[in-house]
Structure 1
Amino acid sequence: MSVLCPPTSYLPPIAKIASFSVTQLLDALTYLQSLYYPEVRGSRRKRAQAPTFNGGENLCPRHEDDNQLQAIRSDAFERSYSIRWLTALIARLEVWQDLSYSVEVSLDDLGIPEPIFAHTEMIVQQAASLLAICAGVAAAGLITRNFIFSSIDGQRRVEAQLTDIPLDNDDYGSVGAQTWGGACVLAEMVMEDPERFGLDFPPDGPESRRLNILELGAGTGLVSIVVTKLLDTLPSFNHRQVSVVATDFHPSVLANLRSNVNANVPSTHNQTTSTHSITTHFLDWSSFSAAPPDYLAYPFDVVFGADIVYEAQHAAWIKNCLKGLVRRPSDSSISHAAFHLVIPLRPTHAFESSTVESVFLNACDGDPNGDVDLVILSKESITCDAHGDYTTRGQGLGEDVEYVYYKIGWSTNARL
Structure 2
Amino acid sequence: MSVLCPPTTYLPPIAKIASFSVTQLLDALTYLQSLYHPEVRGSRRKRVQAPVFNGEQNSRLRHEDDNELQVIRSDAFERSYSIRWLTALIAQLEVWQDLSHSGEASLDDLGKPEPTFTHAEMIVQQAASLLAICAGVAAAGMITRNFIFGSIDGQRRVEAQLTDIPLDNDDYRSVGAQTWGGACVLAEMIVEDPERFGLDFSPDDPKSRRLNVLELGAGTGLVSLAIMKLLDTLPSFNHREVSVVATDFHPSVLANLKSNINANVPSTHNQITSTHFITTHFLDWSSLSTAPPPNCLSYPFDVVFGADIIYEAQHAVWIRDCLKAHLRRPFDSTISPAAFHLVIPLRPTHTFESSTVESVFLKASDVDPNDDAVLVILSKESITCDAHGDAHGDYTRGQGLGEDVEYLYYRIGWSNARL
Smaller-chain TM-score bracket: 0.7 to 0.9
Residues 301-353 of structure 1: CA deviation (Å, up to 9, x unaligned): 00000000111111111111111111110156320000000001111111111
* Structure 1 residue 32, shift from structure 2 partner: 2.0
- Which residue of structure 1 lines up, in the alignment, with residue 242 of structure 2? 242
- Which residue of structure 2 lines up, in the alignment, with residue 403 of structure 1? 407
* Structure 1 residue 365, shift from structure 2 partner: 1.4
CA distance in 2: counterparts of 1:166 and 1:76, whole angstroms: 19
SS of 2:179's partner is coil
* 1:321-336 paired onto structure 2 within 5 Å: 321-331=322-332, 333-336=334-337
Residues 90-130 of structure 1: CA deviation (Å, up to 9, x unaligned): 9999xxxxxxxxxxxxxxxxxxxxxxxxxxxx989953632
Task: Indicate conservation of the 8 Å contact 1:247/1:281, yes or no.
Answer: yes
CA distance in 1: counterparts of 2:239 and 2:128, whole angstroms: 45
CA distance in 2: counterparts of 1:91 and 1:236, whole angstroms: 47
- Which residue of structure 2 lines up, in the alignment, with residue 119 of structure 1? none
Cα 1:386/1:52, change in 2 over 3 Å: farther
Q: Does 1:85 align with 2:81?
A: yes
SS of 2:168's partner is coil
Comparing 168-177 and 195-204, the one that deviates more: 195-204
Cα 1:52/1:324, change in 2 over 3 Å: farther
Cα 1:50/1:321, change in 2 over 3 Å: same
- Which residue of structure 2 lines up, in the alignment, with residue 58 of structure 1? 55
Letter in 2 for 1:194: P
Task: Indicate conservation of the 8 Å contact 1:340/1:406, yes or no.
Answer: yes
Identity, in percent, stands at 74
* Structure 1 residue 205, shift from structure 2 partner: 1.9
* Structure 1 residue 410, shift from structure 2 partner: 0.7
CA distance in 2: counterparts of 1:308 and 1:45, whole angstroms: 19
Task: Indicate conservation of the 8 Å contact 1:36/1:73, yes or no.
Answer: no
SS of 1:169's partner is helix
Q: Does 1:200 align with 2:185?
A: no
Structure 2 gaps, min length 5: 90-125
SS of 2:152's partner is coil
Task: Indicate conservation of the 8 Å contact 1:14/1:85, yes or no.
Answer: no
Residues 254-290 of structure 1: CA deviation (Å, up to 9, x unaligned): 0000000000113134569921111100001011145
- Which residue of structure 1 lines up, in the alignment, with residue 227 of structure 2? 227
CA distance in 2: counterparts of 1:175 and 1:16, whole angstroms: 44
Cα 1:332/1:179, change in 2 over 3 Å: farther
- Which residue of structure 1 lines up, in the alignment, with residue 305 of structure 2? 304
* Structure 1 residue 250, shift from structure 2 partner: 0.3
CA distance in 2: counterparts of 1:69 and 1:62, whole angstroms: 18
SS of 2:163's partner is strand
**Runs of 4+ more than 4 Å apart:** 5-13, 15-20, 24-31, 48-53, 67-70, 72-77, 79-82, 89-93, 122-126, 270-273
Alignment coverage as a number of residue pairs: 373
Cα 1:327/1:84, change in 2 over 3 Å: closer
Cα 1:226/1:49, change in 2 over 3 Å: farther
Comparing 292-301 and 173-182, the one that deviates more: 292-301
Comparing 187-196 and 205-214, the one that deviates more: 205-214
CA distance in 1: counterparts of 2:404 and 2:336, whole angstroms: 35
Q: Does 1:255 align with 2:255?
A: yes
Cα 1:41/1:67, change in 2 over 3 Å: closer
* Structure 1 residue 402, shift from structure 2 partner: 0.7
CA distance in 2: counterparts of 1:231 and 1:153, whole angstroms: 17
Comparing 369-378 and 262-271, the one that deviates more: 262-271
Structure 1 gaps, min length 5: 94-121
* 1:101-250 paired onto structure 2 within 5 Å: 127=131, 129-130=133-134, 140-250=140-250
* Structure 1 residue 204, shift from structure 2 partner: 3.0
- Which residue of structure 2 lines up, in the alignment, with residue 341 of structure 1? 342
Cα 1:205/1:130, change in 2 over 3 Å: same
SS of 2:228's partner is helix
- Which residue of structure 2 lines up, in the alignment, with residue 315 of structure 1? 316
TM-score (norm 2): 0.77
Cα 1:246/1:193, change in 2 over 3 Å: same
SS of 1:226's partner is helix
Cα 1:207/1:197, change in 2 over 3 Å: farther
Residues 150-205 of structure 1: CA deviation (Å, up to 9, x unaligned): 11110010111000000001111000001000000100110111000001111232
* Structure 1 residue 81, shift from structure 2 partner: 8.6
SS of 2:277's partner is strand
CA distance in 1: counterparts of 2:70 and 2:324, whole angstroms: 49
CA distance in 2: counterparts of 1:368 and 1:80, whole angstroms: 62
* Structure 1 residue 293, shift from structure 2 partner: 2.3
CA distance in 1: counterparts of 2:334 and 2:177, whole angstroms: 38
